[in-house]
Amino acid sequence: MAENEDLGDAKRRNFLIKATAAVGMAGAVAACLPFIDSMNPSADVLAKATTEVDLSGIPVGGVHTVAWQGKPIFIFHRTPEEIKAMQATNGIIDPEPDQKRVKQAEWLVVIGICTHMGCVPNKDAAGWLCPCHGSEYDDSGRVVRGPAPKNLYLPPYKFVAADKIVIGVA
């Protein structure tokens, strides 16, 4: 009879160990959920996740700047001459064909932050000039001179209509 009592005690002890472990794990998960949830983007960040831009008001040869996630985005409506000139070259410091930098040849969409030190370049006749250290970018946003190591970065965007883009989605 003592053997049966020992066997019953062992089963009870194993059950209690498993039940205590399960309750402890559930408590640990419940304690971690607020921490994990705090890593999700806040509502104000989600609101800035995309920016819709109407292109119909940008004249040929004109540049429009919008904000996306706190960064300036340059939208350049290129002339046929500028398109032809940019398609004829690949850049100098960070070579890349113009066709890989645009989704429609007449529209260049780039993040307007110099890849050297993070300044905002200004548009000039030949492209963009960074006033901080003199980096120059062509009309395709490719670095052609100066300390900048990379071309102006391209934001994810897509055309949702002939005259409308959404920045922040690919």
Q: What are the catalytic residues?
A: 133
Residue 99: what are its φ and ψ, rounded to 5°?
A: -60, -25
Rounded distance between C-alpha atoms, residue 67 and residue 44, angstroms: 14
* Residue showing tokens 């160990």: 17
Classify residue 152 by burial, with Cβ atoms within 10 Å: 0-12, 13-18, 19+.
Answer: buried
Q: What angle do CA 130, 92, 77 make, to 5 degrees?
A: 60
